Amino acid sequence: MGRIKHLFWTFILMVATDSSAQDGTLDTTFGNSGVVMTDFGGYLSDIKDIAVLSNGKIITAGGIFNQSGYNKFALLRYNKDGSLDNEFGADGKVINDFGGYYVNGMLQESEGKIIVATREYDYFEGIFASRSFLVQYDKNGILDSTFGVNGVIIKNTNGINSLALLPDGKILAAESYGSTALGVTHSLIRYNSNGNPDSSFGINGAVPITAIGQVALTKDGKILISSSDGNFVFTRYLNDGTLDATFGNNGTLTIDIDVDNLRFVKIQPDNKILFIGRSYHFIDSPYTISDDHYRIFRLLPNGDLDANFGENGMIVLTVSPDSALTDNAPDSIVIQSDGKIVAIGRHPYIDEYGYSLDQIGIVRYLVTGVPDVTFGENSLLLIPNDNLGGGNMSNSTCLQSDGKLVIGSTFCEAHLSCHPHTLLLRYGLGQTLTDNEFEGHKNTFSVYPNPVSQIVNLDFNLNQSEDLSIDLYDVNGRKISNLLKNKNFQSGHNSQQLDLPGTLSKGIYFLSVSDAEYTAVVKIVK
């Protein structure tokens, strides 16, 4: 069986990988060498959400439009190989024939039904306003007459910003209403499976919330609302809509870094909370931004920062061309079955004509928040646009049951303006080794003293003679220096003294020990 790179971190590492099969390669069994670009007969298109069905088929939701005012939303279903599924809608496509063209979210029910939240802005009875739509289709792409009115609920709201599906089939929606006489501008609504408000939740199915944001569910059925108002704000509710007093301060948690903007939230299987945020502050005027950083945070289930993740519960993505995702930074997170964290977003680059464009970047971390240096180039994989031209940005991602990553992207082929098109890409992220495969390699590594000063000792056991190289990395996955190059060690117990660079500042670092086939990483603190 061919092996792929796999890294398991603790204070002593035992790792098995194979350099012959690299993580992060396009899946050539999907579309045209891993890429699917869908044509809408000359119309422009984008993609806003994506889901993988239990049978491996892929659903996407997005808009189709032109510059003359034509605006619709569309659902597409693809087969496993990336071809359009002719059993869904018309030749794999469902294009709505009513209002609502901007997609805010999509849910996939267990019976194959699809729920989509959309909104539109237009003139209604002489007033420019917005309307929201909650739409349900059956598994074949036909409007479900058992939901709302002929499959549609129309609401005079500013938008349904986020959706979540409960195990019993009920639907949670975070909705914005603008100003009201009661001063309630945002609500969390719970709908029954037929589209009627659930009267057992809050007051007549609604719970007032202070800010519109993302809805996520914990494994024990609690509801997390995440938003930003200059700070990161999280509120958690029990199943009946009352505040969860075990979270934060009587149900609410505020994190103040600087001027803070929330981008994405993901709840892990152990109920820890991962989220992406951007923090910055203004200097001289409200138009000059300084100290602009993206961060990935992890909170414990009670809302405390997880001290075992990154540095004090966060990873700071520094703005540097050779570090992890920078500038436009990550937009979404998926969690592999082995607990590794994959962040996907936009990475700026300059093309051959000197234009500043975006390309998709993927960065992978270990469960502890340490950059996985066995992935891509020092934990970062950039998806080149060489064969496409123009800019490419990730809008939505999901992980298949086989561990492959599907990216829904909006692609712009023009340099000076964007004429967007829908693009799907599928990548292999690597396969976790089984326990039997893992047990075949008993190499162990430990360091002392730790924390270190200038000299560090590395003790290890080898089950066969190996030529080893040792590199030093910082917490952002940047290679600092090579400490040892292709030195031969015999099987059995070995010890190697390493001299760290004299200019090394205090902090967390990693020793990457590798031969031609395997890699191990050991954490050190200076």
374 plus 511 within the same structural domain? no
11 inside domain: no
User: Domain end: 375, 405, 430, which one?
Assistant: 430
Query: Is 80 exceeded by the pLDDT of residue 134?
Result: yes
User: Domain end: 368, 397, 430, which one?
Assistant: 430
3 inside domain: no
How many CA atoms lie within 13 Å of 346's alpha carbon, on the beta-carbon side?
18
293 plus 339 within the same structural domain? yes
72 plus 146 within the same structural domain? yes
14 inside domain: no
Contact partners, residue 453, CB within 8 Å, separation at least 6? 526
Tokens coding 51: 């889901």
Query: Is 80 exceeded by the pLDDT of residue 224?
Result: yes
270 inside domain: yes
409 inside domain: yes
Q: How many CB atoms lie within 10 A of CB 484?
A: 15
Q: Is the preceding omega at residue 167 within 30 degrees of 0, hence cis?
A: no
Domain CATH number, residue 467: 2.60.40.1930
Buried b (16+ CB within 10 A) or exposed e, 82-91: bebbeebbee
Domain CATH number, residue 190: 2.120.10.30
107 plus 219 within the same structural domain? yes
478 plus 422 within the same structural domain? no
User: Domain end: 395, 430, 465, which one?
Assistant: 430
Residues 212 and 173: beta-carbon distance below 8 Å: no
Helix (H, G, I), strand (E, B) or coil at 29: coil
Specify the range with the lowest mean pLDDT, choosing from 5-9, 272-276, 426-430, 468-472.
5-9
Nearest residue to 62 via CA among 384, 480, 424 = 424
Domain count of the fold of the chain: 2
Higher pLDDT, 195 or 462: 195
338 plus 459 within the same structural domain? no
Tokens coding 225: 């609302």
67 inside domain: yes
239 plus 356 within the same structural domain? yes
Residue count of the chain, please give it: 526
418 plus 474 within the same structural domain? no
Specify the range with the lowest mean pLDDT, choosing from 12-16, 42-46, 125-129, 457-461.
12-16
- Per-residue pLDDT tens digits for 343-387: 888 777 666 667 667 778 888 888 888 888 777 777 777 766 654
* Segment (H or E) for 460: strand 455-462
515 plus 374 within the same structural domain? no
404 plus 520 within the same structural domain? no
223 inside domain: yes
Mean pLDDT of the 389-417 span: 73
* Segment (H or E) for 371: none
3-state secondary structure 222-284: CEEEEEECEEEEEEEECCCCCECCCCCECCEEEEEEEEEEEEEEEECCCCCEEEEEEEEEECC
Contact partners, residue 352, CB within 8 Å, separation at least 6? none
413 inside domain: yes
Mean pLDDT of the 111-118 span: 89
How many CA atoms lie within 13 Å of 41's alpha carbon, on the beta-carbon side?
3
- 495/511 Cα distance (integer angstroms): 14
345 plus 379 within the same structural domain? yes
Query: Is 70 exceeded by the pLDDT of residue 219?
Result: yes
**Structural domain range at position 385:** 25-430
Q: What's the one-letter identity of residue 394?
A: S
Residues 497 and 509: beta-carbon distance below 8 Å: no
Q: What's the one-letter identity of residue 170?
A: K
Query: Is 70 exceeded by the pLDDT of residue 13?
Result: no
367 plus 408 within the same structural domain? yes
Between strands 455-462 and 466-474, the pairing is unpaired
pTM higher than the cut 0.85: no
Q: How many CB atoms lie within 10 A of CB 57?
A: 17
In percent, the amount of the chain with pLDDT more than 70 equals 77
